[in-house]
Amino acid sequence: KGEHNDKRGALIVLEGLDRCGKTTQCSRLVSFLEGRGLSVESWRFPDRNTDIGGMISSYLANGSKLDDQTVHLLFCANRWEKRSLMENKLRNGTTLIVDRYSYSGVSFSAAKGLDIQWCKAPENGLIAPDLVVFLEISPEEASRRGGYGTERYEQLEFQRNVAKHYQILQDSTWKVVDACLPPESVEKQIQELALESIQSCQNKPLSALWH
């Protein structure tokens, strides 16, 4: 069969409020899985390297004014433009560790007051994750962690609202990990969840959001 791998990769998403430690944990997880000889890649959304990603990036830096619906659809389109590459990678046996996905998409937009069903609709048909690790931290605790940066959404009141919407979205693929435990302990829990997911996804076909 040449290069082709019979076993599909897992789609593993890390979610959580700003400053919950997602990005660090994503890269640690990728190193861990690579160390085990697995085929794995690190992804993130927004992917700022595309034209759409550039528009998002400028919006987040407060460099452009766009209405909430438009921004929502840009974030969503940024996932759609990566969908077929994502599917190919997964089918070829590569596990993807993704820093934010549609849950951020819906939670952040709904926190601005957009209707949650309206927000979910264009995400329909994107690939459903095999595992969502939610790194739980209170907005207050997150804001104490060295403070937020300067991007548009990094404010306590807004993060509280995002947290509320994350709660609503939790489903059976979610595993909640306490982001306030020591980082090594968080890391270990995520490793176990990821290995379990990589094993068990092999018997499951790829499926679509939101079913």
Shortest Å distance, C-beta 181 to ligand FDM? 21
Q: Smaller CB distance to ligand FDM: residue 7 or 112?
A: 112
Distance set, CA 146 to CA 18, 88, 102, 154, 157 (Å) = 11, 39, 27, 12, 17
Shortest Å distance, C-beta 24 to ligand FDM? 12
Residues 6+ apart with CB under 8 A from 159: 17, 18, 139, 142, 143, 148, 153
Q: What is the SS3 string spanning 52-83?
A: HHHHHHHHHCCCCCCCHHHHHHHHHHHHHHHH
Backbone angles phi, psi at 3, to 5 degrees: -75, -20
d(CA 185, CA 189): 6
Instruction: Report the DSSP pairing between strands 40-44 and 11-15.
Output: unpaired
Q: Smaller CB distance to ligand FDM: residue 20 or 198?
A: 20
Q: Smaller CB distance to ligand FDM: residue 39 or 57?
A: 57
Residues that bind ligand FDM (CB under 6 A): 18, 45-46, 60, 75, 100, 104-105, 108, 153
Q: Smaller CB distance to ligand FDM: residue 153 or 210?
A: 153
Shortest Å distance, C-beta 120 to ligand FDM? 12
Shortest Å distance, C-beta 100 to ligand FDM? 4
Shortest Å distance, C-beta 57 to ligand FDM? 8
Q: Smaller CB distance to ligand FDM: residue 80 or 153?
A: 153
